[in-house]
Structures are given as structure tokens and as C-alpha cells.
Amino acid sequence: MAAYYLDSSALVKRYAAEIGTIWIRTITSQGAGHVLFVALIAGAEVVAAFARRERTRSLTAADAQQAISDFQSHFRAQYSVIALTKDIVERAMALAPRLSLRGYDAVQLATALTVNDELTHSGSTGITFVSADSDLNTAAAREGMLVEDPQAHSNSLDVKP
């Protein structure tokens, strides 16, 4: 059993067929038994991503609504959701200029680093940071995190189940 921190770009791949979807679905399946951490803000980011895809017609209305419904169900039941705290925001404020990160990317990384610190201080194995954002992955690696890009785990364009 491993622990993963999934940012919004990785989470979207679980619900919409893209490069990396099969790998994300493999690590996030309940049968895999992994611990899956997500930031509280991912809830809004992921739902907004599907709403935008519906508006731009890259997803049908039915597919977008199904993705949102599935995500919301998993958000409540399968993910360990990490609340945004003042300490995380302060850490994000320090990371953003140092690593040239956008605001929410800095919050995602600060959240992951906080979870990783808590796990390693308690004697557990750290987490793997999962994102499809290459700039964010580079920043996470610079901070010493193990990083996985789901797009690197695909032989071809993934298809819907």
C-alpha cells in the first residue's frame, strides 16, 4: 500500500479519458488499497474543469455531469481531503515566488509537502506527488518529493471503460 497526493490535473484523468487515465484509475481503485490525499480546493477545481469542458464541448453534458457526480462521491468517501489552513497558505506564499508557481499550484504543493512532513515525522513512508503539470512536478521534485506524471504511464490514448 502506498500513499499518493493527487492534484487536480491528475484527478481529472480518473473521470475523463485522457493520456494517463488507465494508470490513474489503477492507483485510485479501491482494490489497490492506496491512501489518496487531495487538497480541499481540488473539489472546486475539478468540478470547474468538467463544467468548462462541457461549455467548450470537449465533453457532452451527460459525460460532464457523470464525471462531476462520480468525483463528488469519491471526494466524500475515497479521498483523504486536506483542509486549507493558515500554515499551508503561508507555506504556499513562500513557495510561489521561490519556485515561480501560480497561486493554486503553490497551495497544492504546500498541501502535499505538509502531508508528507506529517507522515514522515510519524515514521510512515512519505507520499508520491501526482500531477500532469510539468512545472508543478519540477517544483515538487526540487522540494524533494517523489513525483509521478500520469501522462508518462500510457502506451496510447486511454479510452473510457
Residue for grid cell 499518493: 4
Looking at the domain assignment, is residue 22 inside a domain? yes
Q: How far apart are the first and last CA of the chain?
A: 24
CA separation for the pair 90, 94 (Å, rounded): 6
Looking at the domain assignment, is residue 71 inside a domain? yes
Number of domains in the chain: 1
Looking at the domain assignment, is residue 91 inside a domain? yes
Residue 156 has pLDDT above 60, yes or no: no
CA separation for the pair 114, 112 (Å, rounded): 5
Confidence band for 160, pLDDT divided at 50, 70 and 90: very low
CA separation for the pair 152, 25 (Å, rounded): 14
Give the per-residue pLDDT at 46.
98
CA separation for the pair 61, 114 (Å, rounded): 37
Q: Residue 144 has what DSSP assignment?
A: T
Looking at the domain assignment, is residue 134 inside a domain? yes
**Contact 26/69 with Cβ under 8 angstroms?**
no
CATH number at residue 127: 3.40.50.1010
- The CA-atom distances, in angstroms, between 52 and each of 42, 55, 72, 130, 138 are 15, 5, 16, 22, 26
Looking at the domain assignment, is residue 158 inside a domain? no
Enclosing domain of residue 20: 3-152
| pLDDT tens profile 64-107 | 999 999 999 999 999 999 999 999 999 999 999 999 999 999 99
Give the per-residue pLDDT at 161.
43
CA separation for the pair 143, 152 (Å, rounded): 21
Residue 38 has pLDDT above 80, yes or no: yes
- pTM value is 0.93
Residue for grid cell 500510457: 154
**Contact 9/132 with Cβ under 8 angstroms?**
yes
Which segment of 42-51, 86-95, 145-154 scores lowest on mean pLDDT? 145-154
CA separation for the pair 28, 141 (Å, rounded): 22
